Amino acid sequence: MTKLEYRKEYKELYVPKKNPVIVSVPAISFITINGTGDPNEEQFALATGALYSLSYAVKMSYKSDNIPKGYYDYTVFPLEGVWSLIDKSLPTTDKSNFKYKIMIRQQDFLTTDLFKRFLSETENKKPNIYLDKIEYEEIYEGLCCQMLHLGSYDTEPKNFEMMKQFCNDNGYKRISFKHREIYLSDPRRTEPQKLKTVLRYKVEVKSSTI
């Protein structure tokens, strides 16, 4: 069985350049959890754990007596997060003011019924209060600006400035206060200066002015 590697199959979205580029992101199915607060606190770790437990239950289902129709071997996608602020008047350095939707992309063979099945199985095998908060949904981003950020999450602002300048220079404008992060590195095992994170936000072509 050929193994699907997302870094090769979806290189444009998961192996971005170190400089800003414009990409078109199609509708994608995810399992998601909504939350608020500092991502360094325990609730964020529990939510992340719930998403991974369910994602690996889907991946390892080929070992079950009821293999999903259309199943193929693959590498589990990385954790992603869409971030904004609860109170937009407060500085972005106040992590307790964060509002987020964290998620993991799922494979094409996962249906709503299969999602319910694997969620139930995971709740029985690996109880986690955040499993009850997981939703299965399709998200469409469309036209976006993105780039690869190298280093600590705290140094992301300098890259967002690069993205802003790139958009201004090339006729695009940001249309959402929210932004997406895709975590290509495990922060528990990677030194802060070596972390790799995809930064992305929605844009549109600027209207011409006369």
Q: What is the pLDDT of residues 130-151, one digit of tens each?
A: 999 999 999 999 999 999 999 9
118 CA to centre of own chain: 20
Q: What is the pTM of this model?
A: 0.95
| Chain mean pLDDT for the chain | 95
Q: Are strands 172-174 and 196-205 parallel, antiparallel or unpaired?
A: antiparallel
Phi then psi dihedrals of residue 104, to 5 deg: -135, 130
Quote the tokens at residue 186: 């495990």
Residue 188: its pLDDT value, please?
87
Q: Which residue has the higher pLDDT, 208 or 147?
A: 147
Give the list of residues 6+ apart from residue 67 with CB closer than 8 angstroms, or none.
Answer: 61
Domain assignments of the chain as residue spans, ordered by start: 14-205
| Per-residue pLDDT reduced to its tens digit, 87-102 | 999 988 899 999 999 9
26 CA to centre of own chain: 14
Q: How far apart are CA 144 and CA 38, in angstroms?
A: 26
Phi then psi dihedrals of residue 39, to 5 deg: -70, -10
Could you tell me the sign of the dihedral formed by the alpha carbons of 141, 150, 30, 67, in that order?
A: positive
Q: Rounded mean pLDDT of 32-38?
A: 97
Residue 1: its pLDDT value, please?
54
Residue 209: its pLDDT value, please?
47
Helix axes 42-59, 112-125, angle to 10 degrees: 120
| Superfamily (CATH H level) for 14-205 | Regulatory factor, effector binding domain (3.20.80.10)
Residue 92: its pLDDT value, please?
86
| Per-residue pLDDT reduced to its tens digit, 159-197 | 999 999 999 999 999 999 999 999 999 988 999 999 999
